[in-house]
Amino acid sequence: MSEMPDIGGRRPIPVNVEAGKSYWWCACGRSKSQPFCDGSHKGSSFSPIEYKPAADEEAWFCACKRSGKKPMCDGSHKQLP
């Protein structure tokens, strides 16, 4: 049985990202720096996911940690109870 991530938020988080820069998305939901990793996953089965955009843009990061397009939002938060 796999561990479920905590819900880090119930709406996507928009971030202006820079082309070629690495962004480390929190996969565990425990980070106090959502949507990004602050090391809170230590001791769990989760690891942050690197996102490196090809262009400067506004990216919508998943906060609920249920997206099928991690680290981007796919609307899965709309299905949360």
- Full pLDDT tens readout for the chain, 81 residues: 468 999 999 999 999 999 999 999 999 999 999 999 999 999 999 999 999 999 999 999 999 999 999 999 999 999 999
Contact 61, 25 (CB under 8 A): yes
Domain that holds residue 14: 1-81
Q: How far is residue 39 from each of residues 16, 48, 78, measured CA to CA in Å?
A: 22, 9, 27
User: In this structure, which amino acid lies at residue 51?
Assistant: Y
Domain count along the chain: 1
Whole-prediction pTM: 0.94
